[in-house]
Structure 1
Amino acid sequence: MEKLHPEEYCNRCKNNMTLALSKKSSPILAIVIPVYNEEKVLDQLIFKLLPVFCDLILKQKILENSFILFVDDGSQDNTWSIIKNLCEQKNYFKAIKLSRNYGHQQALLSGLLAAKENADCVISMDADLQDDVELLRKFIDGYIEGYEVIYAIRKERNIDTFFKRQSASFFYYFMQKMAVKIKKNHADYRLASKKVLDYLSEFNEVNIFLRGIFPMIGFSSTEIFYNRQKRAAGKTKYPLMKMLSFALDGITSFSNTPLRFIAIFGFLIFMLSLLFSGYVFIEKFILHSVVRGWSSLVLSIYMLSGIQLLSLGIIGEYIGKIYSETKRRPRFIIEEKLM
């Protein structure tokens, strides 16, 4: 038998006690799935998700009163009818219907806030089956080990088009430079504990960007990696313009670096203007040789006008955010609940 110094023995016992205390028992799990016009993929989703969900219950990894919560973000097809039918058949299906299309982030937020009232931890995922449902097992194992937030990270982006790969790479690089802390190649496939979601509910901003908020909240976290699949059916809900709008929301919601950049750039232009003024003064009053021509004048006017308009646009974006926040309108309205 290994002989230990008393102090070393006490330290080892203390570490073992800390590890035992940090571990958690089998939780009540809620899976939140925002949907918008997903009638073509819902049957496939249930076919793949349900066996994993039921297996976790059978193996007592999660409790029997765990549930799957759909959030219908104002779908125009038969999505809500399909969900209502599921809720009538099985009691572990729950649903929320929003009064109109509020957007993915608001729909997801409404589901997270509703689910946390009856769950110990919540996993959010998309309905298009791009997220690997088998990852649910690793999420639960990580939660039981004591992690409060678990991020699912894409290993690679081989299934994306060249444009989407390059734009995504630039997005994460730009966000990093703008001092926005987000997980690279992480969408919204994550587990969050009730404790974390309780703090999330205190974030009352209208312009919500969940990928930036969760790292800001903190608590113990880890990452698991997976290969994302192609969309099983239907069309993507994030075309180019929505992607650009989403990126802009992320930047303006978490960083004032663009405003600081405008201030620095304006100062540099001012300094260059002073130097140019000195040059003009020397040319006119000392060398007595005034350079005639309008090209340089017109080009400088165009350049400065473009910079001014761009700067006003960035400032206007921030003012628009402030305007939205000060109105304090509801972030979403729930039309119907099947809980």
Structure 2
Amino acid sequence: MATQKLTIVVPAFNEEEVLTDSVQKLLAIEEKIAQTNVLSQRADVLIVDDGSRDHTWPIIEKLHRTNSRVRGIRFSRNFGHQFALIAGIQEAVKTADMIVTIDADLQDDPTKIAEMVAKYAEGADIVYGVRNNRDTDSWFKRTTAQGYYKLLGLLGVHLVPNHADFRLMSKRAAETLLTYPERNVFIRGLIPKLGFTTDAVYYKRTPRMAGESKYPLKKMLAFAWDGITSLTIAPVRLILLLGTLSCLLAVGMVVYAVVMKLLGLTVHGWSSLMVSLWFVGGVQMISLGVIGEYIGKLMTEVKQRPRYTIQTILN
């Protein structure tokens, strides 16, 4: 196979504590892979600053001045991790034959990039980085993650279990991903929809070298909900099913009430009445909330606003 160019896309938000070390490690990995004559010496690292409020961007500028293989994109504000990935891929695909995405903290094992490139050389267009254990996670996070994958499977959404956003994509796979124009982006759910030949590498995730996680519980729950509502309308169908069952139950209760009336056995019960009212009211509010969520996402898509704004590009 002729030498191919690799670009590693690194989304970064307030990563001043780890960014310099992480970039040096990635550059060293690229140099090591280049010795196998699979990669072009033009391999580079593209960092996307997602509106950081610390010294992340000045660090990127310094790294770029000292090594032209380090490039940077700076958002005008924080647009979110998924849009940072999209922006990086959109810029990288202009010159790269293969693109690896990895978070700046390098908790995902960067040494596996060499294995990803080898699988790409064997014909894979998409190579997933998959965790082979979750020992570093708390019991709560491990249990909820597995439950989330099972729930999405029941809703008809195909995800690669224990895979986040550490992956390699060929040029054509990346270009195909970029044809998906939605604003409510859940990349790990879109990738399996692309088709193409896929493979996987397995690794153990390590603790952060420094800094704090950018995905606390609140963000994780919001991200999980985005994954459901962006990829399936199953919750709306569930509301339809619940409404149908409620109507059938209501018909049964009408028949029961008529029979009790004819038999003279009617009993006025305040408790049962109030429980029924609260239950039905709660179901209605939840149903309206779910439907409203979908309508809100639909409104966002219809407006066709830019997904992100780039302030500066270092090439």
Give the TM-score normalised by structure 1: 0.91
Give yes or no for the alignment of 1:202 onto 2:215.
no
Give yes or no for the alignment of 1:318 onto 2:289.
no
1:331 aligned residue: 307
1:69-95: CA deviation from partner (whole Å, max 9, x where unpaired): 000000000010011011111111111
1:13 aligned residue: none
Q: Give 2:151's match in structure 1, choosing from 174, 179, 189.
A: 174
Q: Give 2:278's match in structure 1, choosing from 274, 296, 302.
A: 302
Shift of 1:44: 2.2
2:71 aligned residue: 94
TM alignment of 1:57-136, pairs within 5 A: 57-136=34-113
2:249 aligned residue: 272
Give yes or no for the alignment of 1:186 onto 2:163.
yes
Aligned counterparts of 1:202 and 1:116: Cα–Cα separation in 2: 13
What amino acid does structure 2 have at the position aligned with 1:298? M
Aligned counterparts of 2:302 and 2:308: Cα–Cα separation in 1: 16
Aligned counterparts of 1:43 and 1:206: Cα–Cα separation in 2: 31
| Greater Rg over alpha carbons, structure | 1
Aligned counterparts of 1:296 and 1:166: Cα–Cα separation in 2: 37
Partner SS, residue 117 of structure 1:
coil
| Aligned length in residues | 315
Shift of 1:25: 3.0
Shift of 1:54: 1.1
Shift of 1:167: 1.3
| C-alpha contact (below 8 Å) 2:184/2:226 kept by paired residues | yes
Aligned counterparts of 2:111 and 2:267: Cα–Cα separation in 1: 73
What amino acid does structure 2 have at the position aligned with 1:288? G
Shift of 1:43: 2.4
Partner SS, residue 223 of structure 1:
strand
Give the TM-score normalised by structure 2: 0.98
1:293 aligned residue: 269
Partner SS, residue 100 of structure 1:
coil
1:154 aligned residue: 131
1:263-301: CA deviation from partner (whole Å, max 9, x where unpaired): 0111001000000010000111x2012112211100000
1:16-44: CA deviation from partner (whole Å, max 9, x where unpaired): xxxxxxxx433100000000000001122
| C-alpha contact (below 8 Å) 1:26/1:144 kept by paired residues | no
1:232 aligned residue: 209
1:46 aligned residue: 23
Aligned counterparts of 2:118 and 2:66: Cα–Cα separation in 1: 29
| C-alpha contact (below 8 Å) 1:69/1:111 kept by paired residues | yes
Amino-acid identity (%): 41
| C-alpha contact (below 8 Å) 1:25/1:144 kept by paired residues | no
Q: What are structure 1's unaligned runs of at least 5 residues?
A: 1-23
Aligned counterparts of 1:217 and 1:25: Cα–Cα separation in 2: 25
